[in-house]
Amino acid sequence: MSASGFVNPVVSVVVLGIFAGLLYVYSINQSAVKGFQMKKVEKEITQLKNENELLKIKEAELKSLYKIEQSSKDLNMLEVAEIKYLDETNSLALNSSVKNIK
């Protein structure tokens, strides 16, 4: 400080320059961090898209008629010759306690 109480303008400019430089370095660092995070998220998105495509292919394979027929053979299932349906009014299908409630 000078005798009149004012700060030397050179010191003010130097302090302001240092502050501006630190602010610039901080902002560049934050940009780099955000860029790194973006790359990481983009890589994860790409991996998830690839995994999704593989799952779609697997789904199509499992839904295929050939796979279903092969699975039924592996489980020793037989082809149905005659379809029989249950009669809703048959007393065997109804609980007797439910039948008496009206």
- How many whole angstroms separate alpha carbon 61 and alpha carbon 70? 12
Whether this model's pTM surpasses 0.75: no
Q: Which two tokens stand for residue 37?
A: 């995070």
**pLDDT of 99:** 46
For 35-94, how does the pLDDT look when each residue is reduced to its tens digit (9 = 90+)? 999 999 999 999 999 999 999 999 998 888 888 888 888 998 888 888 888 777 766 655
Residue 97 has pLDDT above 90, yes or no: no
